[in-house]
Structure 1
Amino acid sequence: MRGKGRATMGFEARTDVRAGHVLVTLAGECDLAVRDQLHTILEDAVRSSPLVVVDLGAVDFLDSSGVHGLIVAHHEARARGGRVTVVNPAGAVAAVLDITGVGELLSPTAERADG
């Protein structure tokens, strides 16, 4: 199914509706400059599916604004009984997710906590 794409200087996001989940593919730099755009994209995805998979394979840079966007989406999904996971983080992006604990929190293999 064709998805929606949005691009800003140094950042691109594509949303594809798939069977059983929404795939959000991010590319470029996820920082303060794209905070609102990232929030809107993830919020729309969380509203449209109980499972949102965020592919970070093409993200070159992730700062605290990007991490915050992922955490907000996680909380919004949980409030709706859903889940957000991240896949394919690499290099510095994977390191940021590991250091903050967000990588483990949003891992596809993490146990779902229904607390």
Structure 2
Amino acid sequence: MGFEARTDTHAGHVRVTLAGECDLAVREQLHTILEDAVRSAPLVVVDLAAVDFLDSSGVHGLIVAHHAASARGGRVTVVNPTGAVAAVLDITGVGELLGPAAAPADDPARADG
């Protein structure tokens, strides 16, 4: 399976759903998608449920997006990692760094601000 990405904009956050392999071959595409998401909302939720491979390039893209969001007072979080992808996030500490936040709908006032 190749790489696919879909971005859905919601009130107060953007959900980026990734699928396939996040590796060196798609590094620039991943960077652009996450950069655009960080610019458009204070919270970016990256859904990794359909990602079956994540290498250091993918991890780097997530960390770069995290730093960009933090610089803007925002946050990037990852949800639904499974199997080897979850293991890579755990081993690198990125899973803890970008662990899920409360769902945006749980605190509408905070999501708006």
Distance 1:109 1:49 in 2: 15
Q: Deviations over 1:35-89 (max 9, x none)?
A: 0000000000000000000000000000000000000000000000000000000
- Per the alignment, residue 10 of structure 2 pairs with 18
Aligned mates of 1:105, 1:30 — CA distance in 2 = 19
Q: Report what 1:3 is aligned to.
A: none
What TM-score, normalized by structure 1, do the two folds share? Answer: 0.86
- Of 21, 26, 40 in structure 2, the residue corresponding to residue 34 of structure 1 is 26
State the superposition RMSD in angstroms: 1.2
Deviation, 1:19, is 1.6
Structure 1: 5+ residue stretches without partners: 1-8, 111-115
Instruction: Report the identity percentage.
Output: 89
Counterparts of 1:1-115 in structure 2 under 5 Å? 10-109=2-101
Q: TM-score, normalised by structure 2?
A: 0.88
Give the Cα–Cα distance (whole angstroms) in 1 for the partners of residues 72 and 12 of structure 2.
15
Question: Which of 9-18 and 28-37 deviates more?
Answer: 9-18
Count of residue pairs brought into register by the alignment: 102
Q: Match for 2:88: what amino acid? A: V
Q: How far, CA to CA, are the matches of 2:88 and 2:52 in structure 1?
A: 12
Q: Deviations over 1:90-113 (max 9, x none)?
A: 000000000000000000149xxx
**Which structure 2 residue ranges, 5 or more long, are not aligned?**
103-113
Moved more, 87-96 or 100-109: 100-109
* Greater RCO (Cα-Cα under 8 Å, separation 6 or more): 2
